[in-house]
């Protein structure tokens, strides 16, 4: 693992690399960014570089420090994760106790705290004291997805490093490498920039079921019969996810209509539903470009209306009627 391996975070990697190389490492960092953007991976890379015996701004990956970090048993690197739903004061006390003496094998110690925003008030106060008065050279790396929930007193003692969203194709490739079905991964990554959220959707059965429902709904709408209203009533509103799933269905519907448009204007390489080319072609031949553009506007308006707590059934039925009227 090297700085170059920090996919999608070249800017952050460059900042940290230069800090180490120029001996300007902060005593405490706060890595802020959405789940899945590589905060923990970057934190371990920084720790490895700091503890490596042959480092010149880059961990060698071969010394006993690097190898022990890779194996997860370096005595001068500790990683704290929430116990249950929170990080408790006993965890911070244990961390302080473990670092109350000089580093075992290195000239400094490093600790990483994941989800630091989940600390109890007592744990946060204890950590604040530890940040201010470490017994020996210590570098703290705190990770959070909710920087606004961190105490200002802790923020003021850290160098805050904001992580970028991973590029769309990088997110898709990451999920593909983990074994997820590419078309579903592409749709999930299109709807959310949060890789962790996209991964969760790819793992769920309901997300794939929603896409099938959207495909059926679009066919029913084009047929201009009453089947579309039946699909809404019997399969969408009565779905086990209930009204909570409606924003997903409407997002999927928007991207389906966008695929129809991209097919028509010969931008097929940008399609999201890549495994539904036959259905996309069939529907694209039945729709005019103005109708598709109007359809996207109608669906987005419906999503906004439901977000304002308008009756979901009436909003969806109105959407279908508007689309069928053309």
108 within a domain of the structure (yes/no): yes
CATH number assigned to the domain comprising residue 320:
1.20.272.10
**Rounded to whole angstroms, how far apart are CA atoms 272 and 187?**
6
Q: What mean pLDDT value characterizes the chain?
A: 87
Residue 127 belongs to some domain of the structure: yes
Segment 20-51, tens digit of pLDDT? 988 899 999 999 998 778 899 899 999 999 98
**Model confidence over 146-177: pLDDT tens digits?**
899 999 999 999 999 999 888 888 889 989 99
Q: Angle at Cα 259 formed by Cα 256 and Cα 261, nearest 5°?
A: 115
Domains held by the chain: number: 2
The length of the chain is: 326
Distance from C-alpha of 252 to C-alpha of 201, rounded to nearest angstrom: 13
Give the model's pLDDT for residue 158.
Answer: 94
CA-closest candidate to residue 210, choices 247, 258, 262: 247
User: What's residue 102's pLDDT?
Assistant: 61
Same domain flag for 103 and 247: no
Distance CA 34, CA 309 (A): 28
Q: Which domain holds residue 27?
A: 3-164
The answer as to whether 184 is a domain residue is no
- Report how far apart, in Å, the C-alpha atoms of 128 and of each of 23, 91, 103, 108, 136 are: 24, 14, 21, 19, 16
213 shares its domain with 157: no
Of 140, 164, 188, which one is at a domain's C-terminal end?
164
Asked whether residue 172 is assigned to any structural domain, the reply reads no
Last residue of a domain, one of 136, 164, 192: 164
pLDDT less than 70: residues of the chain: 1, 4-7, 55, 101-106, 135, 239-243
Of the residues 113, 134, 164, the one at which a domain ends: 164
């Amino acid at each position: 693992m090297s700085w170059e391996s920090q996919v999608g975070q070249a800017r952050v990697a460059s900042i940290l690399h230069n800090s180490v190389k120029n001996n300007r490492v902060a005593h405490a960092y706060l890595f802020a960014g959405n789940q899945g953007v590589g905060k923990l991976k970057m934190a371990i890379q920084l720790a490895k570089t700091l503890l490596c015996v042959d480092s010149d701004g880059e961990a060698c990956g071969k010394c006993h420090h690097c190898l022990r970090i890779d194996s997860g048993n370096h005595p001068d690197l500790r990683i704290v994760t929430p116990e249950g739903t929170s990080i408790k004061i006993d965890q911070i006390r244990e961390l302080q106790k473990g670092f109350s003496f000089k580093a075992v094998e290195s000239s400094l110690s490093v600790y990483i705290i994941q989800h630091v925003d989940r600390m109890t008030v007592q744990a946060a106060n204890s950590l604040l004291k530890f940040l201010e008065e470490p017994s020996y050279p210590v570098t703290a790396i705190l990770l959070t997805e909710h920087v606004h929930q961190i105490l200002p007193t802790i923020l003021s003692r850290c160098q805050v490093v904001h992580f970028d969203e991973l590029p769309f194709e990088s997110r898709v490739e990451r999920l593909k490498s983990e074994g997820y079905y590419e078309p579903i991964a592409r749709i999930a990554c299109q709807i959310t920039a949060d890789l962790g959220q996209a991964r969760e959707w790819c793992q769920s059965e309901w997300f794939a079921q929603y896409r099938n429902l959207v495909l059926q709904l679009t066919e029913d709408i084009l047929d201009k019969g009453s089947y579309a209203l039946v699909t809404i009533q019997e399969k969408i509103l009565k779905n086990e996810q209930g009204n909570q799933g409606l924003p997903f269905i409407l997002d999927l519907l928007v991207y389906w209509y966008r695929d129809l448009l991209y097919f028509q204007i010969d931008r097929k390489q940008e399609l999201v539903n890549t495994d539904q080319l036959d259905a996309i072609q069939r529907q694209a031949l039945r729709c005019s470009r103005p109708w598709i553009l109007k359809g996207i506007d109608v669906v987005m308006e419906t999503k906004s209306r439901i977000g304002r707590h308008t009756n979901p059934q009436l909003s969806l039925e109105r959407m279908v009627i508007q689309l069928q009227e053309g």
